[in-house]
Amino acid sequence: MTVDRAYLAGGRIGEARAALAALNARIMALFEAAGAMRVEPTALHAADALLDVYGEDLRGRAFTVEEPDGRELFLRPDFTVPVLQLHLAARAAPARYAYLGPVWRRQAAGSARPTEYLQAGIEVYGEDPAEADADVFALTLRALTEGGVPAPEIVTGDLGLIIALLDAVPMAQARRAALRRHFWRPRRFHALLERYAAAPLAPTPVRAALLAASAEPARVAAMAEAAGALVGARGVEEIAARAAALAADAAEPPLAREHAALLDAALAVEAPAADAHAALADMAAAGGCAIGPALDRFARRLDALTARGVDAARLPFRAATARNLEYYDGFVFEMTAPDRPDLPPLAGGGRYDGIATALGAAAPEPAVGAIVRPEALMAATC
């Protein structure tokens, strides 16, 4: 048993524990004073209901356990999705929630990153997006000030703008969805763009046979049975679905080079927020892409941030910022401790309107939130 906790020596006992508890209390008081109701989601969740919402990276890092009846459960890797589940179950009107507790994430062998750490956070549902984005951002800054870091290094992004560009560029929906999944993996995103823009290569004999058989499940089944052990753990239905997807993709014309270049250039934008807005507007206009509503949302958010005392025009903006979580679909931000590369981001958050439908809601739910890592915040001032 260790007395240490994430990033914080001795944080489980004595004065260090008391100091951390006091910081947690100040952060939670700040969120509750802003109208948030304290909630306590369970630590264990049904894997089949939630893991797909998190995306590939976090799915692979979740701690899972199996019930005697075979059901798979996992320890929450964050609070955002469990809190949204509570909100949807309560059928609440516009609402704000605050929470504090541990999350668990598997780390690579030899990694010094903790597998358990605290998150204190706030989630805001059903409110005007620009105003809610600005509120959550300003509250997060105040929480870091409570912890002794009043001037963190900040980076912001807006996945809504990139999504709008993707939607405006002519391409198959399957390709669009694949690109969306890889916003936060710039190399993979670029590789996909290159593949979609290139002339299709001649398929291998095996792939050619699959493509030819894709519309006939019986032929696919016969091929799978003939392949035997080469199929591995995949069933015939999975192979047939893959064959159909390959056939559909092979029938697609190449993505126009100018559109691929536009998307690459948009993701490379890194500038003060006002300059980034202007640059992205110019790129979209030059490429014939109508993204006016997304640009308007960006501008309204800057105005709302300015009204809360933030120098919004000069906020660092990096279009590729995505926070490594696939459920974000709008404004995102991270705040780090200056001159402390040994620490993770002290806080971060963003907008995730789309995942309510993945959890069974009939329509997207305006949603934005942020978390603070109290242990890392306290360590930043030691």
Every domain of the chain and the residues it spans:
1-151+365-382, 153-199+256-336, 205-250
Cite the DSSP H helix spans in 214-315: 217-227, 236-250, 257-267, 273-286, 292-307
What SS3 state is found at 170? coil
Give the type of residue at 227. Answer: A
Kind plus residue range of the DSSP H or E element containing 378:
helix 374-380
DSSP conformation letters of 104-121: E----TT--S-SEEEEEE
Tell me if 291 sits within 8 A of 164, measured CB to CB.
yes
| CA 6, 11, 13, 18 torsion-angle sign | negative
Distance, CA of 56 to CA of 59 (rounded, Å) = 5
Residue 172: exposure state from Cβ atoms within 10 A (0-12, 13-18, ≥19): middle
The gap from C-alpha 152 to its chain's centroid, in whole angstroms, comes to 21
Tell me if 336 sits within 8 A of 83, measured CB to CB.
no
Give 351's strand partners.
368
pLDDT of residue 217: 61
Q: Which of 103, 115, 158, 119 is CA-nearest to residue 4?
A: 115
Residue whose pair of structure tokens reads 């999944």 in the numeric block: 181
The dotted CATH code for 1-151+365-382 is 3.30.930.10
* β pairing state of 316-318 and 270-272: antiparallel
Angle between helices 159-168 and 173-181 (to 10 degrees): 160
Angle between helices 47-54 and 80-90 (to 10 degrees): 120
CATH 3.30.930.10 fits 153-199+256-336, yes or no: yes
Tell me if 276 sits within 8 A of 264, measured CB to CB.
no
Give the type of residue at 217. Answer: P
pLDDT tens, N- to C-terminus, the chain (382 residues): 577 898 888 889 999 999 999 999 999 999 999 999 999 999 998 887 676 787 767 777 888 888 888 888 989 999 999 999 999 999 888 999 999 999 999 988 878 889 999 999 999 999 999 999 999 999 999 999 999 999 999 999 999 999 999 999 999 888 898 898 888 788 888 899 998 988 565 555 656 565 555 555 666 666 665 555 444 445 556 665 655 565 555 556 789 999 999 999 999 999 999 999 999 999 999 999 999 999 999 999 999 999 999 999 999 999 988 777 788 999 999 999 999 999 999 999 999 999 999 888 889 999 999 999 999 999 999 8
Kind plus residue range of the DSSP H or E element containing 155:
strand 153-158
pTM check: above 0.95: no
Residue 282: exposure state from Cβ atoms within 10 A (0-12, 13-18, ≥19): exposed
Is 1-151+365-382's fold the same as 153-199+256-336's? yes
Within a 10 A sphere around the Cβ of 29, how many other Cβ atoms? 12
- State the Cα angle at 75 between 71 and 77, rounded to 5°: 130
Q: Assign residue 269 a region (left: φ > 0; alpha: ψ between -120 and 50; beta: otherwise).
A: beta
Distance, CA of 358 to CA of 53 (rounded, Å) = 7
Distance, CA of 111 to CA of 115 (rounded, Å) = 10
In terms of residues, how long is the chain?
382
Distance, CA of 320 to CA of 162 (rounded, Å) = 9
Residues 6+ apart with CB under 8 A from 289: 164, 165, 168, 169, 262
Distance, CA of 131 to CA of 187 (rounded, Å) = 34
